[in-house]
Chains A and B, each alone.
Chain A
Amino acid sequence: MNALKKLLGIIWILLAAAVSYYCIAIFGGKLSSGKQDDLVFGIIIFFILLPLVVSGLGLFGYYCLTNEYDEDYD
């Protein structure tokens, strides 16, 4: 189980990276489209959800990789 937890750490880091790529590539134009609804949505994605997912999930993945979540929780 500990090996799986560690291995999945890479997945969480990759997921964080994929989310940032997806958000920038797909929603990047929203911030400059000039439409109010696009701007609101862009702000929500870029300044709230994106930093949270990238830093939080990235750090979580790093902790998984460094065996912080091994069975004994020490």
Chain B
Amino acid sequence: MSKASSKGIWKVISASSMGTMIEWYDFYIFGSLAVVISTKFFPSDNPTAAFLSTLATFAAGFVVRPFGALFFGRLGDLIGRKYTFMVTLMLMGGATFLIGCIPSYETIGFMAPVLVLILRLLQGLALGGEYGGAATYVAEHAPKGERGYWTSWIQTTATVGLFVSLMVILITKSVMSKEAFEDWGWRVPFWVSVLMVVVSYYIRKGMHESPVFAKAKAEGKTAANPLKESFGNKYNLKFVLLALFGATMGQGVVWYTGQFYAMNFLKTVQSIDSSQVDTLLGIALVLGTPFFVVFGKLSDKVGRKNIMMLGMLIAIIAYRPIYRAMYTTTDLTKKTEIVEKTTTVPSMKVVEGTKIDSIYTTNRAYTDGTTVEEIKTIHMEEGKVMLDDKGKEKVETKITKKINNADRWMLVFLVFIQVIFVTMVYGPIAAFLVEMFPVKIRYTSMSLPYHVGNGIFGGLLPAISTYLVTTAKDAGDVEFYLEGLWYPIIIAGVCFVIGMIYIDKKINTLHE
């Protein structure tokens, strides 16, 4: 490639990647702040219901993505890639900013969760249109034989977006008190988005239309009805289905297990301090991100299928041992408590009338440097412990562990391995999808399987896996914490078999 064309493609990559990264950032700050959002926008009578409602809203953001893929994909195949992903950028930025402005449930009542849901759906629509546009735009600028390498830069944006979201949250938390962050500080990451969107808008504004699409349009070879040609045509539909069940479905669950499930697991199952989790996850993401490009480039040499399927297979085999090791690392039953350092401070909070909360805060220290804060809240009325629907005493225990350095690095390593699986399945997939479909319906055809696989099969993982873990825990299963992994293992397993048998190397040369 000449110096001039190399400079040109870097300009394309940076403009596309920055916008896409911002869209992922916008999308993920909601997930990263799910716990605090649940207390602000959903009735707090039942914390689990509030949390699940947030997850459902989170899922709603994912479920709507395929509709965004259809709507904006169609536009992208009709009027062009560039203008379409300019619209998605503005839509996403606007929705994100407004989420940060919505008054809480306590202030405006039921309108609060309704508005959050609507804006979350708009975010999902925008993201559904963005990714396919950016991947197609870059791929159509990339030289033949190097698509894997160039599109892998777009593939880094989702992880970088997640990383930036974690960092912005960490920085915001570090410059204010815990109370201030929970009161209003959580809104700052949503507002920050507007600045980034404006910058990205002006960078993208100066870009030209994809040369391949511009040529097709000039020759009158664009599709009159991209949706009909994509999904009403059996020849194309069979590739859409193959892309979904043989690649994106498994890629989606591996992606969400390695990043979001790992984060949820560390915070909720292992009860590790939230800031420590964000930091260790951030380190693992930084270390792992370059491998998107490594595997993208490698896919130009050895084929997309080989790398994606190998990543999926190793993930299926390794998940349970990895999560068992994660759990064991911070298992308090395997640590020695320094009994003389244990302190318990009782306190009381009047809720209303004769209802009071009796609170016991216990701090424990362990010989390896781990410290634990346990807050036990006993809900009482007229001097007696209140009972829940099942007749059990209403007692809540919240444990927060501060882990030592050795455990932290062990967990960084275990999450890093999962990020490597992510880079193997995700690095080559943009090039893989782009090459499956012809120019005139590419944006529509590649966007749908990507967002169904990634958004629905992957996006529902936190809700389904949390449910599986909770059910196993209620049933007294000793290894309840591993049960949530059955969902990604089974989905990735089916995808692996389909991918290995039905995806032919010839597919990647169908639409060079």
A and B: bona fide binding partners: yes
B388 CB–A CB distance under 8 Å = no
A32 CB–B CB distance under 8 Å = no
Known A44-B463, A56-B241, A57-B245; judge A69-B52 contact (CB<8 A): no
Contact A56 B507 (CB under 8 A): no
Residues of chain B in range 204-243 having any CB-CB distance to chain A below 8 Å: 234, 237-238, 241-242
A-side contacts of B52, CB under 8 Å? 36-37, 40-41
B-side contacts of A1, CB under 8 Å? 501
Contact B463 A52 (CB under 8 A): no
B496-512 toward A: CB 8 Å interface, digit per residue (1/0)? 01100110101100100
Contact A44 B56 (CB under 8 A): yes
**Bound Cα distance from A4 to B497, whole angstroms:** 12
Contact A60 B501 (CB under 8 A): no
Residues of chain B in range 442-466 having any CB-CB distance to chain A below 8 Å: 452, 456, 460, 463-464
Could you say which of A12, A36, A63 has the most chain B C-beta atoms within 10 Å of its C-beta?
A36
A-side contacts of B510, CB under 8 Å? 73
Taking CB as reference atom, which chain A residue is nearest B42?
A: A36
B101 CB–A CB distance under 8 Å = no
A-side contacts of B504, CB under 8 Å? 71, 73
Q: What distance in Å separates the Cβ of A61 from its nearest Cβ neighbour in chain B?
A: 10
B59 CB–A CB distance under 8 Å = yes
Taking CB as reference atom, which chain B residue is nearest A48?
A: B63
Report which A residues bind B (CB closer than 8 A): 1, 4-5, 8, 12, 15, 36-37, 40-41, 43-44, 48-49, 52, 56-57, 59-60, 63-64, 68-69, 71, 73
**Bound Cα distance from A13 to B504, whole angstroms:** 21
Known A8-B501, A40-B463; judge A73-B241 contact (CB<8 A): no
B367 CB–A CB distance under 8 Å = no
7 residue pairs from A and B, CB less than 8 Å apart: A1-B501, A4-B501, A5-B502, A40-B56, A56-B241, A60-B238, A63-B234
B-side contacts of A36, CB under 8 Å? 46, 49, 52-53
Total chain B interface residues with beta-carbon distance under 8 A:
31
**Bound Cα distance from A36 to B463, whole angstroms:** 13
A-side contacts of B59, CB under 8 Å? 44, 48
Report which B residues bind A (CB closer than 8 A): 46, 48-49, 52-53, 55-56, 59, 63, 234, 237-238, 241-242, 244-245, 452, 456, 460, 463-464, 467, 494, 497-498, 501-502, 504, 506-507, 510
Taking CB as reference atom, which chain A residue is nearest B241?
A: A60
Taking CB as reference atom, which chain B residue is nearest A72?
A: B506
Contact B238 A52 (CB under 8 A): no
**Bound Cα distance from A57 to B238, whole angstroms:** 11
**Bound Cα distance from A73 to B503, whole angstroms:** 10
Taking CB as reference atom, which chain B residue is nearest A43?
A: B56
Task: Name A68's contact: one of B53, B55, B238, B452 (CB within 8 Å).
Answer: B238
**Bound Cα distance from A43 to B498, whole angstroms:** 28
Contact A48 B460 (CB under 8 A): yes
Contact A44 B502 (CB under 8 A): no
Could you say which of B55, B238, B460 has the most chain A C-beta atoms within 10 Å of its C-beta?
B238
Known A15-B494, A36-B52, A40-B56; judge A69-B238 contact (CB<8 A): yes
Taking A48-B63, A56-B245 as known contacts, 17 extra A-B pairs with beta carbons closer than 8 A to each other, sorted by chain A number, are A8-B497, A15-B494, A36-B52, A37-B49, A37-B52, A40-B52, A40-B56, A41-B52, A41-B463, A44-B463, A44-B464, A52-B456, A59-B237, A69-B502, A71-B504, A73-B504, A73-B510
Q: What distance in Å separates the Cβ of A19 from its nearest Cβ neighbour in chain B?
A: 10
Q: What distance in Å separates the Cβ of B59 from its nearest Cβ neighbour in chain A?
A: 6
B-side contacts of A69, CB under 8 Å? 238, 242, 502
Contact A44 B460 (CB under 8 A): yes
Q: What distance in Å separates the Cβ of A2 from its nearest Cβ neighbour in chain B?
A: 11
A-side contacts of B506, CB under 8 Å? 73
Taking CB as reference atom, which chain A residue is nearest B497?
A: A8
B-side contacts of A73, CB under 8 Å? 504, 506-507, 510
B-side contacts of A60, CB under 8 Å? 238, 241-242, 245, 498
A-side contacts of B463, CB under 8 Å? 40-41, 44
A-side contacts of B501, CB under 8 Å? 1, 4-5, 8
**Bound Cα distance from A41 to B461, whole angstroms:** 11
B-side contacts of A40, CB under 8 Å? 52-53, 55-56, 463
Q: What distance in Å separates the Cβ of B46 from its nearest Cβ neighbour in chain A?
A: 7
Taking CB as reference atom, which chain B residue is nearest A47?
A: B63
A-side contacts of B48, CB under 8 Å? 37
A-side contacts of B507, CB under 8 Å? 73
**Bound Cα distance from A60 to B249, whole angstroms:** 14
A-side contacts of B452, CB under 8 Å? 52, 56
B-side contacts of A71, CB under 8 Å? 504
Q: What distance in Å separates the Cβ of A57 from its nearest Cβ neighbour in chain B?
A: 6
**Bound Cα distance from A16 to B511, whole angstroms:** 31
**Bound Cα distance from A12 to B53, whole angstroms:** 33
